[in-house]
Structure 1
Amino acid sequence: MAIVRANPTGPAALVRRFRSHHSAERPGAAAKLIASFRGAAAPESTPSRAQLEASAARLPKPLGRIGALELRLAERPKDVKRAQRLRYEVFYKEMAAVADPLAKLARRDMDAYDAVCDHLLVLDHGPKPAHPVAGKLLAGLQGLDLKGFEAKAPFAIGAAAPKPKKPRVVGTYRLLRQEQADRAFGFYTAGEFDIAPLVARHPGLSFLELGRSCVLKPFRDKRTVELLWHGVWSYVVAHDVDVMIGCASLEGVDPERMALPLSYLHHFHRAPAEWAAAALPGRRTDMNLMPKEAIDLKAALKALPPLIKGYLRLGAFVGDGAVIDRQFGTTDVLIVLPRAVINPRYVAYYGADASRHAA
């Protein structure tokens, strides 16, 4: 099935510059600025409630749990906005991404693809810790004669008590099925890699794009990553997906500084002809920066981001050439993961029916 590419002068181009946002959500200057782009046919930045509910209905609710963490698909536009706020916090506040005016005003990472995607969410139901200053103050009062104070105080002297809280989104993944991509702007990945020939070589297979993966820093551990992978696998099983694709990033925009990991990917994990796809000619950066025999395998693996190592363990291939994304401050590689080549031990671990972490 051919990929429908976005018109470079249409909504997707505008989105790449300004990130769509609803003027009704932010009053004052924000609304005025956002309204100024309406004449340019700015696209929606969240799916409709009906669209989200219909997609979520195809999978269990919740999708899974580990301890206080819960996994589910977004069911409301506000769920997608919460994922966008998490992405903004990770990509723009923690990392080196450069926010455009609308993203800064909304404090959300968003684009037109959000409106045609499904969104995996990991929610933390754990207790909210008390303010650290309050905890220290209360601890410092121990041992003092505070006769009569206890009756007036709504808390006990000592360690600050946890506070109930609304669960927050601490991890997310964006999922774009081929049928949705073909009806909209095509795959986001097509803006960096020439994946049309790859898709055309497999007309009977169903493709799924994985993107915008991120986890809040305190939650970057095995449990959160396992839940996200469980969610992806559940989605793949539910929608009978055959091939997963997407851009995976190495932090930084100087390929020479990433010569070791890029060369390792080029020499040891490059896709065979059947699954090959190359970076777009105008954006391509060579990955073959070191001879194969000069590569220290242990050091190369250590230099790779955890997400890319995770893909490789599953059996993924890497495309030909990398792309520098200056907006996000990254160097991107193409990941191609056919379902048929996934390491059997991971299928067994998560369950052929995705039952590993089912709630």
Structure 2
Amino acid sequence: MAILLGKGRYRARLALSPQDVEAAQALRTLAFGTDQTDQDDFDSVCAHILVEDSRADGQLVCCFRMLTIDNGSEVDRSYSARFYDLSALRDFDGRMVEIGRFCIHPEWTDPDILRVAWGAMTNFVDDNNVEMLFGCSSFAGTETEDYLDAFAMLKQRHLAPKRWLPRVKAPDVFKFASRLRRRPDVKKAMLRMPPLLRTYLMMGGWVSDHAVVDRHMNTLHVFTGLEVGAIPPARKRLLRAVAS
């Protein structure tokens, strides 16, 4: 069993069998509330990480998948490239990992689950010399009015550097960076920010200047990037403390 991290009651490991992947798909289906099993062609080419609760008979409580590419010249192979024009990232000269389909069981609210998941990611990043993490960070639902303070904060503080900025590709998008003129209410913004995205931002992550309206998944999502070399030293120490 390929254990990436064990902390307290939770254990993160790599999926090693078709049954493991099916369990991840079942959790995704539950968490995302889809009518059909959440699966696609990327499942067969990604590594899947499972976080299990040892106090609940190994119940799967969190999962995500990782697509590793050697550098930016391969970025168009990613799931995110279906929704964003990532041509600016083709010049990134370092190994990259796309984090996808991240979800936590709706009946488990322990913040340690997210910490263990990030600890497992940290070990994977260190072991494989990864220089950038990226993916789509999702807001539940497709109503932009619910998240205007969050989007205003993203515009004000967290837009991608121009050299990496994704361009519009999807047919239905919310161009929050050009449309919003409001000052964000920081408290409201953080309350509405998805936990995974919040963690990316705390580590120096950045987002696209627009959100894709994904009616199939009933989400709004922003492209999210995190350059490993730009993570503040204090944050790196915290991550490695969790990962050790």
TM over 0.5: yes
Amino acid at match of 1:290: L
- Secondary structure of the 1:291 match is coil
Amino acid at match of 2:181: P
Residues 67 and 269 of structure 1: is their aligned pair in 2 closer, same or farther, counting only changes over 3 Å? Answer: same
Q: Which runs of 5+ in 1 are unaligned?
A: 1-55, 128-164
Instruction: Tell me the residue number matched to 2:5.
Output: 64
1:224 aligns with 2:113: yes
Verify the 8 A CA contact 1:181 1:187 in the aligned structure 2.
Answer: no
- Secondary structure of the 2:103 match is strand
Q: Deviations over 1:5-59 (max 9, x none)?
A: xxxxxxxxxxxxxxxxxxxxxxxxxxxxxxxxxxxxxxxxxxxxxxxxxxx8xxx
1:356 aligns with 2:232: no
Give the RMSD, CA atoms, in angstroms: 2.3
Instruction: Tell me the residue number matched to 1:334.
Output: 223
Shift of 1:278: 2.3
1:89 aligns with 2:21: no
- Secondary structure of the 2:236 match is helix
Higher strand share: 2
1:168 aligns with 2:54: no
Residues 257 and 342 of structure 1: is their aligned pair in 2 closer, same or farther, counting only changes over 3 Å? Answer: same
Count the aligned residue pairs.
243
User: Who wins on radius of gyration, i.e. which is larger?
Assistant: 1
Amino acid at match of 1:126: R
- Equivalence map 1:242-257=2 (5 Å): 242-257=131-146
Equivalent residue for 2:186, pick from 273, 288, 297: 297
Structure-1 separation of matches of 2:74 and 2:159: 30
Instruction: Tell me the residue number matched to 1:110.
Output: 39
Verify the 8 A CA contact 2:72 2:94 in the aligned structure 1.
Answer: no
Amino acid at match of 1:324: V
Instruction: Tell me the residue number matched to 1:322.
Output: 211
Shift of 1:71: 1.0
1:196 aligns with 2:137: no
Structure-1 separation of matches of 2:170 and 2:39: 27
Shift of 1:113: 0.2
Residues 316 and 119 of structure 1: is their aligned pair in 2 closer, same or farther, counting only changes over 3 Å? Answer: same
Q: Which runs of 5+ in 2 are unaligned?
A: none
Instruction: Tell me the residue number matched to 1:126.
Output: 55
- Equivalence map 1:150-169=2 (5 Å): 165=57, 167-169=58-60
Shift of 1:271: 1.0
Instruction: Tell me the residue number matched to 1:157.
Output: none
Shift of 1:341: 1.1
Q: Deviations over 1:271-315 (max 9, x none)?
A: 1112211231633321134325x3222222222121111110011
Amino acid at match of 1:195: L
- Secondary structure of the 2:163 match is helix
Structure-2 separation of matches of 1:290 and 1:277: 18
Verify the 8 A CA contact 2:11 2:53 in the aligned structure 1.
Answer: yes
Residues 242 and 90 of structure 1: is their aligned pair in 2 closer, same or farther, counting only changes over 3 Å? Answer: same
TM-score (norm 1): 0.63
Verify the 8 A CA contact 2:155 2:209 in the aligned structure 1.
Answer: yes
Verify the 8 A CA contact 1:119 1:172 in the aligned structure 2.
Answer: yes
Structure-2 separation of matches of 1:342 and 1:180: 19
Structure-2 separation of matches of 1:185 and 1:195: 7
Structure-1 separation of matches of 2:87 and 2:194: 27
Verify the 8 A CA contact 1:260 1:290 in the aligned structure 2.
Answer: no
TM-score (norm 2): 0.91
- Secondary structure of the 1:273 match is coil
Residues 80 and 267 of structure 1: is their aligned pair in 2 closer, same or farther, counting only changes over 3 Å? Answer: same
Residues 296 and 263 of structure 1: is their aligned pair in 2 closer, same or farther, counting only changes over 3 Å? Answer: same
Verify the 8 A CA contact 2:94 2:132 in the aligned structure 1.
Answer: yes
Residues 81 and 180 of structure 1: is their aligned pair in 2 closer, same or farther, counting only changes over 3 Å? Answer: farther
Instruction: Tell me the residue number matched to 2:155.
Output: 266
Structure-2 separation of matches of 1:185 and 1:278: 13
